Amino acid sequence: MLSKIGAMLLLPGLLAAGCFRSSAPRGGGAEAIDPGLARQGAGYYSDWGCDACHGDAGRGTDDAPSLAGLGDRWTIDELALYLFDPESYGAGNARVRELQDRYPDVEMPGFELPADQLRAMSAWLLTLDREE
């Protein structure tokens, strides 16, 4: 697993290298989602074990919050960065820190995966509120 310091050093490099692209105003909302990218991301949800905590289709459980409505607050790239290293991203985000406090017994794992996979998963997650 990548150290916290390593992640903090790596994230700016990923941004500078263009691995993540800003595609909507900071804070999310109304970002156009490529349906093909979202379909690709849907397959990662169970593969990565997300359903173990967040439940079927991200509806939430006693252990982790519902993932519906993320599209109102996140962009694809913000969410991809969070998925890459939740602890470092959460250090500067009051909403993430509040969720970490609400679910203290569960640590959101980081996914040190290629940016294209993280963006696909993020795209799918941002569609959850649109599908229900």
**Which pLDDT tens digit goes with each residue over 28-46?**
455 789 999 999 999 999 8
Q: What is the rounded CA–CA span in Å between residue 26 and residue 92?
A: 14
Number of domains, the chain: 1
Question: Which pLDDT does position 29 carry in this prediction?
Answer: 55
pTM across the whole model: 0.75
Q: What is the rounded CA–CA span in Å between residue 94 and residue 92?
A: 7
Pair of tokens at residue 56: 């079927």
Q: Place 1 in a pLDDT band, splitting at 50, 70 and 90.
A: very low
Within a domain: 16:
no
Radius of gyration of the chain (CA): 14
Within a domain: 20:
no
3-state SS, residue 45:
helix
Q: What is the rounded CA–CA span in Å between residue 45 and residue 74?
A: 18
State yes or no: pLDDT of 70 exceeds 80.
yes
**Cα-flanking dihedrals φ and ψ of residue 46, to 5°?**
-75, -40
- Residue-number span of the structural domain to which 83 is assigned: 4-10+34-131
Within a domain: 55:
yes
Within a domain: 19:
no
Q: How far is CA 99 from CA 9, 12, 41, 93, 96, in A?
A: 24, 24, 23, 10, 5
Which CATH number covers residue 79? 1.10.760.10
How many whole angstroms from its chain centre is CA 20? 13
Within a domain: 110:
yes
Question: Once rounded to an integer, what is the mean pLDDT over residues 64-90?
Answer: 92
